[in-house]
Structure 1
């Protein structure tokens, strides 16, 4: 492969990874909307779109493997390809978490804990993802650190939300004295769904940090944020 074709292949990979990130971000946004509105159509849209993301992941995986196997890149090019491969893995997993949100939206019939601002947490993680991918696009080292620093704030929001659920469960009157087994099970399912939603959003933030860490390694050969 001529040098110009090789460079074009690298730029194509970058563009394809960015396109995948836009699709994943849109799926995450739709999942959050479905959860907020209890919208079955939006929920099924997110769930039904998972195959597209999985297929894109496999295609990009193939691009990375071909570039390494056929071109034997070294130094910065190798770091770029390896980082891109790891980043599409994080993006695919965020897509899976968006599918989870769609599933939770289908099951959500009521809001037991109105003090838990799930949308605030979700938008914070979405912004982290978008900023991490902007850092990847521009190889912006400062932006990588900024994304990583925001993770503590998201973790704190998730912890506070979980504490609200536990507190309200203890203090609230969610079941009458004569509640039957069906009512108890329904309440437990609602609580489980809410706690799983909090957990999954926290994981989105973790994947965004992973993307920032891989980008930092790609740009500066610096593994400080890798863990």
Structure 2
């Protein structure tokens, strides 16, 4: 492979990683919309679309391995390829979490705890993903640290949401035996809501992973990796 072709392959890898991130983010948005609207058809589209994300991930994985094995890149190019390899893994896992959210939308029996704003939490997590990929695209180290800083805010939002749910269970009169709710159904919905919050928090964690790998790629700085 000529030097020109090699540089073109590196640029194509960057563009393909960015495309995968856009696709994954859109899947999360669709899953959140399905949750809000109780749209089973949209939720099933997200679940059925997961195979496309997996296919692209495997193709990019092969591209990374081929570039390392065949071109034996050094220094910054090696960090770029290795970091891109790690980043697509985080993106694929975000896609899996979008599938989880879509399944929760299908399984949801009722609205619980309207004071828990799932859409707001989801938007915050997606903003972190978008910002981490902006850092990757623009080669912006400062953005990497900004994503990491925002993770504490997302964690706080998720903690408040989970505590709200648990506190209500502990104090609700319905648990004294006088309520008329179907307790088994209620607890299933509570578990689903807690899992939704947990998965949104995990999306934020993957965004931080992407930012950490990007920082390492740019500056050989492992400050956010541990």
> What is the TM-score with the length of structure 1 in the denominator?
0.96
Runs of at least 5 residues in structure 1 that lack an aligned partner in the other structure:
none
Q: Give the drift of 1:176.
A: 7.3
Within 2, Cα distance between the matches of 1:160 and 1:178?
A: 28
User: How big is the shift at 1:46?
Assistant: 0.7
Query: What is the match of residue 83 of structure 2?
Result: 83
For 1:200, the equivalent position in structure 2 comes to: 199
Aligned equivalent of 2:92: 92
State the distance in 2 between where 1:65 and 1:11 align.
Answer: 16
> 2:200, 2:173 → 1: CA distance?
28
Cα RMSD for the two superposed structures: 1.4
Equivalence for 1:116:
116
Equivalent position of 2:158 in the other structure: 158
Q: Is residue 38 of structure 2 the alignment partner of residue 38 of structure 1?
A: yes
Q: Could you report, residue by residue, the CA deviation over 1:6-51 in whole angstroms, capped at 9, with x for unpaired residues?
A: 0000000000000000000000000111111111011101101000
Equivalent-residue separation in structure 1 for 2:141 and 2:74 (angstroms): 21
Aligned length: 226
Partner residue in 2 for 1:185: 184
After superposition, the C-alpha distances for 1:134-163 in whole angstroms (9 at most, x for unaligned) are 100011000000000000000000000000
Q: Which runs of 4+ in 1 moved over 3 A?
A: 173-176
Shift of 1:111: 1.3
- The offset of 1:178, in angstroms, is 6.1
| Structure 1 Cα separation of the partners of residues 174 and 24 of structure 2 | 36
> How far is 1:171 from its partner?
2.4
The answer to whether the Cα contact below 8 Å between 2:121 and 2:157 also exists between their aligned partners in 1 is yes
Task: Please give the TM-score of this superposition, normalised by the length of structure 2.
Answer: 0.97
